[in-house]
Amino acid sequence: MNYGVIGTSDITIRFIESAQETTDFNLTSVYSRSYDKAKQFADRFNALAVYTDLNEMANSDQVDIVYIASPNSLHFEQVKLFLRHKKHVICEKPIFSNLYEWQAAFQLADENGVFLFEAARNIHAPNFKRLKENVHRIGKIRSAVLSYMKYSSRYDLVLKGEEPNIFSLKFSGGALVDLGVYPIFAAVSLFGVPKKVTYFPVIIATGVDGSGTLILEYDGFVCTILCSKIVNADLPCEIHGEAGTIAFNHIAPPTKIEYKDRLTGGTEELAIPQKELDMVYEIEAFKEIIENQDRERYEELGRISEAVLRITEEARRQNGIVFGVER
């Protein structure tokens, strides 16, 4: 399967390196607004085609699927372009700015007989699947705390009075949609769609949430999500049940998972070895869906993706966080 990439950032490098771990996934094309940057990137990874025009890339018969890692606000128009040219699309999270874009794009994918995926790598990792398989052991769930708090070097630019994309309303940025989506994807995958969503953001100078606490209410328990791009924290994630607790070290994805039995006091390590280039698992999952035309699996991923976007949109609405594409 021949693929192209849009964007030349670190996440694109990680995607390409992960794709190299799979079979039948061949990089042919690189797009950047800068020819020199695209050419340098293509040479590094032995891609033959370089583009500065997205229409030319979308028309290429050397691209079966495209990976999009551009600024968030650009995703919708770029995704639509490739779907209209009957290319499968993997779009980096957050896939879109709002539900209107999500619904329009997924309808367009169906109309053109292609697949559209959100690159939420953590829910495809083997250790997340281990977590999901074992969560029943803790009995009736009574609470959960999931966190992803990592200081962004680009926040230094904000402190200097600048507005980098990830901290800009114009580019649909902010902590919740950038890092918070990882624990939200985990929560929806593990517990389903919450009954109620409440968000308490810390708004920074650029108008986005630099940090925040998201409360997801379920029947009988609350899931608290902590996210930040302006502080660091090494908090473990925990799910608490009447029969025990599952604790894991990271949300994207876990590498250590410990089950603690409340009655016996015993502990059990549940994690298994997994590849450091963990994006390989989402790539393999998407490739299998395409090859097998697995609509059931595809639609389940779509339901999760839609629910996550519905949560972030509601959280923003409560706090008057309006992206540029919505003005």
Instruction: Summarize pLDDT for 60-97 with one digit per residue, the tens.
Output: 999 999 999 999 999 999 999 999 999 999 999 999 99
- CA gap 24, 314 in Å, rounded: 40
Alpha helices in 112-177 (DSSP H): 126-134, 155-159, 175
| Spatial CA neighbour of 152 closest among 94, 84, 96, 210 | 210
Helix (H), strand (E) at residue 84? helix 75-84
- Kindly tell me the number of DSSP H helices and DSSP E strands found in the chain: 11, 14
pLDDT computed for residue 169 by the predictor: 98
Which residue is associated with the tokens 């500065």?
Answer: 52
**pLDDT recorded at residue 158:** 98
- 232-253 pLDDT tens trace: 999 999 999 999 999 999 999 9
As a whole number, mean pLDDT of residues 256-280 equals 97
CB neighbour class for 58 (10 Å; exposed up to 12, middle 13-18, buried from 19): buried
Q: Where in the chain are the domains? A: 2-117, 123-274
DSSP string, 267-316: EEE------SSTHHHHHHHHHHHHHHT-HHHHHHHHHHHHHHHHHHHHHH
Nearest-10 crossing angle of helices 295-318, 279-292? 130
pLDDT in tens, 173-215: 999 999 999 999 999 999 999 999 999 999 999 999 999 999 9
The Cα–Cα gap between 314 and 306 comes to 12
Task: Indicate the burial class of 194 (C-beta count within 10 angstroms; 0-12, 13-18, 19 or more).
Answer: buried
* Spatial separation of the C-alpha atoms in residues 37 and 284, rounded to whole Å: 28
Q: What angle do CA 50, 93, 252 make, to 5 degrees?
A: 115
The answer to whether residue 23 scores a pLDDT higher than 90 is: no
Q: Per DSSP, which regions of 150-208 are E strands?
A: 196-203
Q: What CATH code is assigned to 2-117?
A: 3.40.50.720
Determine whether domain 123-274 maps to CATH 3.40.47.10. no
Is the per-residue pLDDT at 314 higher than 90?
yes
Q: Rounded to two decimals, what is the model's pTM? A: 0.97
Q: Locate tokens 């025990």: which residue? A: 244
The β-bridge relationship of strands 221-228 and 209-218 is antiparallel
Q: Which percentage of the chain shows pLDDT scores above 70?
A: 100
> Pairing state of beta strands 65-68 and 257-261?
unpaired
Inform me whether the pLDDT recorded for 24 exceeds 90: no
Host H or E run for residue 39: helix 35-44
132-182 residue pLDDT tens: 999 999 999 999 999 999 999 999 999 999 999 999 999 999 999 999 999
Average pLDDT, integer, range 25-46: 94
Strand 2-6 relative to strand 26-31: parallel, antiparallel, unpaired?
Answer: parallel
Give the residue-averaged pLDDT of 95-115: 98
Q: Return d(Cα 263, Cα 306) in angstroms, integer.
A: 38
